[in-house]
Amino acid sequence: MLIELKNITKDFHTDEVVTKVLHGLSFTIEAGEFVSIMGPSGSGKSTLMHILGMLDRPSTGHYLFNDRDVSKLEDDELAALRNKKIGFVFQSFNLLPRTTVLDNVKLPLLYSNRHDIDYNDQARDVLKSVDLSHRLDYYSNQISGGEKQRVAIARALVNNPDIIFADEPTGNLDSKSGTQVMAILQRLNEAGKTIILVTHETYTSEHAQRIITIRDGHIEKDYQVTQRRLAKDGDLLK
């Protein structure tokens, strides 16, 4: 079991006001799954992703990652585990401005203290996997939105993580670029990566194998996709 949540809650405190966002969520995710977490704005899906991605802690409950209760880890232990095991792709790309595509992708390696690989070679390899070998020396402000998101995916892959979190990865893209990004995520999943996609769009969520629907901090539905969309041509896989 890669991920197991047990009665996870999350509260936010502002002065004397307590806002309850997540209410006792429990589910599991197996290694190699492609799961969409879907819900409207304010449903708690992004909060849930931040907990799953070890960017935030639950208020109560237990989060097991590879059978290890990460809820009890210190901040530096969480950071090390996150950098080694998890890659993130965000709607806003979060690329460094006035920095080359190659250097943006190398960034996680600089924090990894790895000495078993050549950073430039590793970054070139993952950029090749997202069809961006021709953009290595371009600055991030010189490429299109779709290319920026593919750079972000390459950066998420550069440490060879077990799991990729994609938070609204097509939200700032046109339909063609969005389809390219979803095709890459599906291809990564087919190669064995676990993908967790956060989206408010039904169409986008149907590219996954399984959909968990969140509403008002509760799990409304959790089901397998019977007619999965194939990003390469928009068809349904029946």
**Residues near 38 by Cβ (< 8 Å), separated by ≥ 6?**
45, 198, 199, 200, 201, 202, 205, 211, 212, 213, 214
In this structure, the strands spanning 236-237 and 86-90 are unpaired
Asked whether the predicted pLDDT for residue 227 surpasses 50, the reply is yes
**Residues near 162 by Cβ (< 8 Å), separated by ≥ 6?**
2, 31, 85, 86, 193, 194
pLDDT for the residue numbered 115 = 79
Mean pLDDT of the chain: 92
Provide the token pair at 140: 């991030």
What are the φ and ψ backbone dihedral angles of 41, each rounded to 5 degrees? -55, 135
pLDDT for the residue numbered 238 = 37
Give the integer Cα–Cα distance in Å for 199 and 64: 23
Local confidence band at 237 (pLDDT 50, 70, 90 cut-offs) = very low
pLDDT for the residue numbered 30 = 98
Q: Could you read off the pLDDT of 125-182 as tens digits, one per residue?
A: 999 999 999 999 999 999 999 999 999 999 999 999 999 999 999 988 888 888 999 9
Asked whether the predicted pLDDT for residue 233 surpasses 90, the reply is no
Asked whether the predicted pLDDT for residue 11 surpasses 60, the reply is yes
Local confidence band at 69 (pLDDT 50, 70, 90 cut-offs) = very high
Measured over the CA atoms of residue 237, residue 162, residue 8 and residue 42, the dihedral's sign is: negative
235 C-beta neighbours (distance < 10 Å), count: 11
Asked whether the predicted pLDDT for residue 218 surpasses 80, the reply is yes
Q: Could you read off the pLDDT of 180-199 as tens digits, one per residue?
A: 999 999 999 999 999 999 99
3-class DSSP assignment, residue 18: strand
Asked whether the predicted pLDDT for residue 47 surpasses 90, the reply is yes
Q: Which residues of 17-47 are buried (b: 16+ CB within 10 A; e: fewer)?
A: eeeebbeebebebeebbbbbbbbeeebbbbb
